[in-house]
Chains A and B, each alone.
Chain A
Amino acid sequence: MLRSILTVVLISLAACHTAVLSPAGPVGEGNRIVLLDSLAIMLAIVVPTIVAILAFAYWFRASNIRARYLPEWAYSGRLELIVWSIPALVIFFLGGIAWISSHLLDPAEPLKSQAEPVEVQVVSLDWKWLFIYPQQNVASINHMVVPAGVPLNLKITSASVFNVFFVPRLGSMIYAMYGMTTRLNLQADRPGVYPGLSAHFSGDGFPGMAFDVHAVTRQEFTQWAAATRSSGPVLDEAAYRKLLKQSQNVSPYTYRSVQTGLFDDIVEQRLPPGEGPPTAQSAASGSVAVLAAREH
């Protein structure tokens, strides 16, 4: 049993193909190092303990006449000292790692880089993601294009219920909450497609909140922004109010321009929150909204 568990753990770690253990950016790399270091420190004590449990149980089995029977033995000061100090020392090490890494990898801290960061404002809606690029004055739904090798400065909020913005291969996740802005700094080192999702259950359309992060070269990013500016609908207040209606599995599309200060209006609650499920009266208009969203 034990061997099979260890084999599974080691194979999955050695292969390192899992999203979280094959990061594509400095933040994910930091997460990975903390994860593996902590795991290694603990395995150093956990494996011998498991072996000892099985060995003691086997050796001191009632039928083993060679094992010593010590029916009264129940205390040893020396052992007690060891028993308390081993876990304490392990936790001392791990606590140190936790302390240092929590400060180094605080999601709100901007990443050190020569390049000017790209700002993206992220809004979770029922049930889709809205990405607003204030510097480029464009926006997209369920689809993120970012330049590789450039820090991303994300401001995240929710227009209705809680969600979590998470791109496993880029690293740290953070909550999206109504009336609040959370900050997250990420970076994709190499061009590629990195799947993202919501990591907090948000209702019936929740599994459809998957999106792809396309990391492209800086040049391609500029081209993408220019191309996006030339076509597609405008994200003004009326368009935003349509987004507040619930819709599921929305295909990606873009907005050619965004009303100034839209993100702040959402956070400052100058715009209403998501409508929730259609009530009996508004059921008809709700289904229209679903259709409208799918058309894009």
Chain B
Amino acid sequence: MLGKLTWQAIPLDQPIPLAAGALVVIVLAVLLIWVAAKGYIPYLWREWITSVDHKRIGIMYCLLAGVMLVRGFIDALMMRSQQALAFHAAGYLPPEHYNQIFSAHGTIMIFFMAMPFVIGLMNFAMPLQLGVRDVAFPTLNSVSFWLTAAGALLVNISLVVGEFARTGWLPYPPLSELTYSPGVGVDYYLWAIQISGIGTLMTGINMVTTVLKIRAHGMNYMRMPIFCWTTLASNLVIVAAFPILTATLAMLLLDRYVGFHFFTNEAGGNAMMFMNLIWAWGHPEVYILVLPAFGVFSEVVSTFSGKPLFDRRSMVIASLAICILSLCVWLHHFFTMGTGGDVNAVVGIASMIIAVPTGVKIYNWLFTMYGGRVRFSSAMLWSIGFMVTFIIGGMTGVLVASPVADFVLHNSLFLVAHFHNVIIGGVVFGVFAGYTYWFPKAFGFVLDERLGKAAFWCWLVGFYVAFMPLYVVGLEGMTRRMQHYDRSEWYPWLVVAGVGALIILCGIALQIAQLWVSIRGRAQRRDLTGDPWDGRSLEWSTTSPPPAFNFAVLPNVTSDEPYWSIKQQARARGQLVTPEPEYAPIEMPRNSPTGFVTAFFAVVTGFSLIWHIWWLVILGLVGAYVTFVAFAWRDRHEIEIPAAEVARIDRANRAARAAALSEEPVQ
């Protein structure tokens, strides 16, 4: 009846996962009861869960990412403390548990923290910057989000029911084959990533279509903000690379479920092919993450320097160069598999070449600050912290791209330090900058700057204290994923790294405090102008938070920095430049529970596939198909927002802006 699922799947004999799981379940239950008692469920259902508004979906993506950041960071703390304790000792985590923790840490941080965060920011800001009302396929967007959430849920269910993969965040066969990993851990990984991966691919298609086909009048390609360009580049890579991931994991699933031999040791299987395929997705993946972060930094550095971005054309060329090169270098993940000198050298040099457009970007941000009036808000601090940190990470990246250096650094903690250096220093700092920068646009009040800056300094210092020792210990020859060791020269560095993780913990605590304090004091922190940072692109021209339709009248773009030009003209004249437009009713897509219901059936299907509950698999698939059919047969697609309502919202916005203008000295 329940396949492989028995009471033994609940780790009643292991206190750590049991306590952690029980805590999560209790917190969720309390949260749900509180929400229900307050009567918020109809509101949440109407305004958020079924919402197809790109801004709401973007916010939900970021919220999911924030929760998963905490989850993944708890794993990181456990790993660092285990390695700080396990010198000549077993530590407190046995191998079968430690191995699950580092696998879950990588999986969660890449797939359910970094990806949702960048996709959330792209979802929120890109249509606003393009001056349009929504993405190309709003309901598909909702489905994408809920499928990602479904994957995250499955990974977290494995904490309580069964186990997670013990193979690392990329399940290399033959270790991940049934012979060597007979448990359900790898299956949890595979189905969670398959489900969320489909969501990500649909996001990629959605975003590429939006940028290419839906832009405000006059917003030609060279006038698009750089964030939209990097969104385009990133999503092109998603569309190119994610099908490879899905196909590769599907082959591993066939091996595990129906006895195929793609990657097995026996019957002609070849595990090297998995390495090849998974990195053909995996290396582009890091550029999928970092390109939108580059876009955020471009917006933030320009805004807080009070200047246009230096040399936009170079920036666009560099982004597209990275987009294409990112797909050509995956082979550097197996320099040490015995490929010859020619192959190694060609791929090594190709990998190094990516440093050229990336270096150009750094210099362009540098010269954007030149001649500017730099305001050190916390978003700008994240950006400067990024520039310094990312250069160091880029440098060590070029080091490991040199095949002969990689021969002694591959899989070492030097490598671990390198990719945390670029992912924390690049992606995480980037999403935090974007979060601080666009928060007032999303909610109509600014985040507390003092706590934000304190969080930044904790993260920055914590990062260096946690990861610089790992560079050293990597040069000492320590490899990654060691549950215990007996080499005295590694020990002090790992203790220091553990202290660094605690400093980052302070940073995260400060960020939670910042959110709490800012929400409590939102009445005083309100931003009525919709433009708290003196912004330059179109998202700052509408109210904060923007209405469902974003713009009362779609903007007509005549320059590279449309909102900045409008503001400059208004400042010169001392009054708003555009006369009040004629308001017309606006048609917006109707909210739809399709995404949520599909994801519900996806979780049911995934869970029952993991536990071999075949009747439930069929039920889940039928449910998902029925949902799709019901959506396809809908007869009312859109709702109309009356002109009077549009006028009311826009008049308030214009009045606030006129008031803000009269407070400024005329330039």
Contact = CB atoms under 8 A, between A and B. Distances in A.
Interface of A: 1-2, 4-5, 8-9, 12, 17-21, 28, 30-32, 34-35, 38-39, 42-43, 46, 49-50, 52-54, 56-57, 60-62, 67-76, 79-80, 83-84, 86-88, 90-91, 94-95, 97-99, 101-108, 126, 160-162, 164, 166, 168-169, 171-175, 177-180, 182-183, 195, 197-207, 210, 269, 273-277, 279
B296 interface: no
Contacts of B485: 207, 210
A107 B272 contact: no
Interface stretch (B113-121, B208-216, B348-356, B543-551): B348-356
Contacts of A57: 369, 374, 376, 384
Interface of B: 95-96, 99, 166-168, 172, 174-175, 179-180, 182, 265-266, 270-272, 305-312, 314, 334, 336-338, 340-342, 344-345, 348-349, 352-353, 355-356, 358-360, 362-364, 366-376, 384, 387-388, 391-392, 395, 398-399, 401-405, 407-412, 460-461, 464, 468, 471-472, 474-477, 479-487, 489
10 contacts: A18-B472, A21-B475, A32-B408, A34-B405, A53-B388, A101-B402, A175-B336, A182-B337, A201-B99, A203-B175
A178 B348 contact: no
A83 B361 CA distance: 9
Given A1-B388, A20-B477, 18 more contacts: A8-B468, A18-B475, A28-B408, A49-B366, A61-B376, A73-B370, A86-B363, A91-B349, A94-B352, A98-B349, A106-B344, A160-B180, A166-B477, A171-B407, A173-B407, A197-B477, A203-B175, A205-B95
Contacts of B309: 74
B175 A162 contact: yes
B373 A60 contact: yes
Interface centre among A20, A28, A70, A269 (most CB of B within 10 A): A20
B430 to A, nearest CB: 16
A108 B403 CA distance: 14
A220 to B, nearest CB: 25
Contact of A71 (B168, B306, B402): B306
Given A62-B375, A74-B310, A101-B404, A162 B338 contact: no
A164 B479 CA distance: 10
Contacts of A183: 338
Contact of B374 (A62, A182, A201): A62
Nearest to A13: B475
Contacts of B363: 49, 79, 83, 86
A198 B479 contact: yes
A30 B406 CA distance: 12
A104 B404 CA distance: 9
A277 to B, nearest CB: 6
Q: Which are the 3 A-B pairs with shortest beta-carbon distances?
A: A168-B477, A70-B371, A87-B359
Contacts of A101: 402-404
B306 A19 contact: no
Nearest to A69: B373
Given A8-B472, A276-B180, A173 B340 contact: no
Grouping DSSP codes into helix (H, G, I), strand (E, B) and loop, the A interface class, with mixed when no group exceeds half, is mixed
A20 B167 CA distance: 27
A197 B473 CA distance: 14
Contacts of B475: 12, 18-21
Given A75-B311, A178-B271, A197-B477, A91 B408 contact: no
Given A1-B464, A172-B407, A183-B338, A203 B166 contact: yes
Contacts, number: 307
A276 B178 CA distance: 9
Nearest to B356: A87
A98 B352 contact: yes
Contact of B407 (A31, A56, A61, A277): A31
B544 to A, nearest CB: 23
B404 A98 contact: yes
Contact of B95 (A70, A73, A171, A204): A204
B398 A12 contact: no
Given A68-B371, A87-B356, A94 B398 contact: yes
B500 to A, nearest CB: 12
Interface centre among B168, B358, B404, B474 (most CB of A within 10 A): B404
A207 B96 CA distance: 12
A105 B407 contact: yes
A80 B359 CA distance: 12
A275 B182 CA distance: 12
Contacts of B308: 72, 74
Nearest to A100: B345
B338 A175 contact: yes
Contacts of A166: 477, 479
Nearest to B180: A276
Contacts of A106: 340-341, 344
Contacts of A54: 384, 388
B479 A56 contact: no
A201 B481 contact: yes
A288 to B, nearest CB: 20
Contacts of A97: 402
A204 B166 contact: yes
Nearest to A102: B345
Given A98-B348, A107-B338, A74 B408 contact: no
A98 B410 CA distance: 16
Contacts of A4: 464
Nearest to A23: B408
Contact of A201 (B168, B371, B398): B168
B371 A34 contact: no
B180 A53 contact: no
Interface centre among B311, B384, B402, B483 (most CB of A within 10 A): B402
Given A35-B405, A203-B180, A279-B182, A20 B476 contact: yes
Interface centre among A61, A62, A95, A210 (most CB of B within 10 A): A95
B366 A52 contact: yes
Given A88-B356, A166-B477, A175-B337, A102 B373 contact: no
A80 B174 contact: no
Contacts of B356: 84, 87-88, 91
